[in-house]
């Protein structure tokens, strides 16, 4: 049997509400600092929530011209900047253009382009689309733009599996390398969905927290008082390449992607299987793919959005796989909010950073742990035991993705 390709992470790029560099992201997380702020980008009168986790303004001039930026949705801008940073961080791996690939996950796609056009209808009920509206507004815009900017002539793919999109994109990038379809993959996720319509729609669906009097305390995964998530935005991109090639060129290897699981609940359009059966099978599949037992996992980076049903289902799945309180669990969305399709990619970066720093980042706002969630929730930075991290991403429609990130091989 042919030896399976081992896949290394050699470059990281992020655009998050906690900063545009992995170091800034990590420092904010370990400090337990909430990224929630009042929305000032648009008027919030009449909206059920006036807060979100927003990416601070940053200068795009070093990445693109003003004209180029005007032809991109904000989600595409975030993805392109993260991808460029990741490639630069990787030290310019020299894969031929035909052997390069890109896989980007997004839940909402070019939301702001679509929404602004529909809302500006001038009384015609037809909107005011301009010639670039369709290419700017397509879900594949980020992947397509990245492929053009970085001469990627191999597969250029978009994954849209709701809030599991970023995790699935990285996992499918892993598969492209394993099956020999590429020698370099840019994989990640992006969404820029902090907008009036999305806030109103998510609140009406019962998914959004309405703690308007306490924005910083609104995102509270696994807490008895949780009432929904805080909407966020962002992007993250990883450079993936075969471990042997990375070693041959003397690249810095952050970590290995050792395993990938993907399953479906096939239960409900928005509700998870209440017993967490799909999540359990997904985590189990990822560990099997990595050749690991549950006891070898150092900690779990939970999807944990802060919704009543979602957190309970995931906690049940974790307790079933690892035993009640059997593994440390962290919930970054308590600080970062929920970036939908970006979240799985951002949290994969967080898992890598936790391996590098040998620390489990904390969850905040866990003032009254839900006794039904039988997990060991980490509430302050904790030294991490040696071993891999399991990172979960679950989405509306019952989409599940789990990644196993392992320490860099010596």
If you search the block for the tokens 């990375």, which residue do you land on?
246
Residue pLDDT, tens place only, 51-61: 999 999 999 99
- How does strand 37-38 pair with strand 100-105? unpaired
Residue 320 has pLDDT above 60, yes or no: yes
What pLDDT does residue 142 have? Answer: 97
Long-range interactions of 113-122: CB distance < 8 A, separation 24+: 113/73, 113/137, 115/195, 115/196, 115/197, 115/198, 119/196, 119/197
What pLDDT does residue 127 have? Answer: 65
Residue pLDDT, tens place only, 272-314: 999 999 999 999 999 999 999 999 999 999 999 999 999 999 9
Count Cβ atoms within 10 A of the Cβ of residue 170 and give its class: 0-12 exposed, 13-18 middle, 19 or more buried.
Answer: buried
Residue 1 has pLDDT above 60, yes or no: no
Judge whether 136 and 73 are in contact, CB under 8 Å.
Answer: yes
Homologous superfamily in CATH for domain 261-407: Thiolase/Chalcone synthase (3.40.47.10)
Judge whether 45 and 38 are in contact, CB under 8 Å.
Answer: no
> Predicted confidence band at 125 (pLDDT cuts at 50, 70, 90)?
low
Count Cβ atoms within 10 A of the Cβ of residue 127 and give its class: 0-12 exposed, 13-18 middle, 19 or more buried.
Answer: middle
What pLDDT does residue 338 have? Answer: 98
Residue pLDDT, tens place only, 347-398: 999 999 999 999 999 999 999 999 999 999 999 999 999 999 999 999 999 9
Domain ranges, ordered by start, for the chain = 7-248, 261-407
What pLDDT does residue 132 have? Answer: 79
Using alpha carbons only, what angle is made at residue 200 by residues 195 and 203, rounded to the nearest 5 degrees? 120
> Predicted confidence band at 130 (pLDDT cuts at 50, 70, 90)?
confident
> Predicted confidence band at 126 (pLDDT cuts at 50, 70, 90)?
low
- The answer regarding whether domain 7-248 maps to CATH 3.40.47.10 reads yes
Residue 341 has pLDDT above 60, yes or no: yes
Residue pLDDT, tens place only, 219-276: 999 999 999 999 999 999 999 999 999 999 999 999 999 999 999 999 999 999 999 9
Mean pLDDT taken over the chain = 95
Residue 128 has pLDDT above 80, yes or no: no
> Predicted confidence band at 115 (pLDDT cuts at 50, 70, 90)?
confident
Q: Quote the CA–CA distance of 197 and 407 in Å, as a whole number.
A: 41
| Domains 7-248 and 261-407 fall in the same CATH topology | yes
Task: Name the residue among 400, 229, 230, 224 with its Cα closest to residue 312.
Answer: 224
Judge whether 25 and 19 are in contact, CB under 8 Å.
Answer: yes
Q: What is the mean pLDDT of residues 23-45?
A: 96
- The set of catalytic residues is 163, 303, 338
What pLDDT does residue 119 have? Answer: 65
> Predicted confidence band at 111 (pLDDT cuts at 50, 70, 90)?
confident
What pLDDT does residue 79 have? Answer: 98
């Amino acid at each position: 049997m042919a030896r399976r390709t081992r896949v290394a992470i050699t470059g990281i790029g992020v655009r998050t509400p906690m900063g545009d560099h992995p170091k800034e992201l990590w420092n904010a997380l370990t400090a337990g600092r909430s990224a929630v702020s009042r929305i000032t980008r648009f008027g919030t009168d009449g909206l059920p929530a006036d807060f979100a986790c927003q990416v601070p303004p940053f200068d795009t001039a070093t990445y693109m011209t003003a004209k180029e930026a005007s032809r991109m949705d904000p989600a595409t801008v975030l993805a392109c900047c993260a991808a460029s940073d990741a490639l630069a961080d990787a030290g310019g791996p020299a894969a031929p253009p035909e052997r390069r690939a890109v896989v980007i996950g997004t839940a909402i796609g070019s939301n702001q382009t679509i929404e602004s056009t529909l809302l500006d209808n001038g009384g015609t009920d037809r909107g005011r689309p301009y010639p670039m509206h369709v290419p700017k507004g397509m879900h594949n815009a980020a992947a397509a733009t990245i492929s053009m900017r970085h001469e990627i002539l191999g597969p250029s793919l978009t994954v849209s599996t709701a809030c599991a999109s970023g995790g699935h994109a990285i996992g499918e990038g892993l598969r492209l390398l394993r099956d020999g379809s590429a020698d370099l993959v840019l994989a990640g996720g992006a969404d820029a969905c902090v907008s009036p319509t999305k806030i109103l729609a998510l609140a009406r669906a019962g998914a959004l927290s309405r703690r308007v009097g306490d924005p910083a305390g609104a995102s509270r995964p696994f807490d008895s008082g949780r009432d929904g998530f805080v909407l966020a935005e962002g992007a993250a991109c990883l450079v993936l390449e075969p471990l042997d090639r990375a070693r041959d060129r003397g690249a810095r290897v952050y970590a290995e992607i050792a395993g990938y699981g993907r399953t479906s609940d096939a239960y409900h359009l928005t509700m998870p299987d209440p017993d967490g059966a799909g999540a359990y099978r997904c985590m189990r599949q990822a560990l099997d793919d990595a050749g690991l037992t549950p006891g070898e996992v150092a900690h779990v980076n939970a999807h944990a959005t802060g919704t009543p049903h979602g957190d309970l289902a995931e906690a049940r799945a974790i307790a079933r796989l690892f035993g009640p309180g059997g593994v440390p669990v962290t919930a970054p969305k308590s600080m970062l909010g929920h970036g939908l399709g970006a979240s799985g990619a951002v949290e994969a970066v967080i898992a890598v950073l936790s391996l590098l720093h040998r620390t489990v980042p904390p969850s905040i706002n866990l003032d009254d742990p839900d006794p039904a969630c039988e997990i060991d929730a980490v509430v302050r930075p904790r030294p991490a035991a040696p071993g891999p991290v399991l990172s979960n991403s679950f989405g509306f429609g019952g989409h599940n993705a789990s990644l196993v990130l392992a320490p860099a091989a010596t």
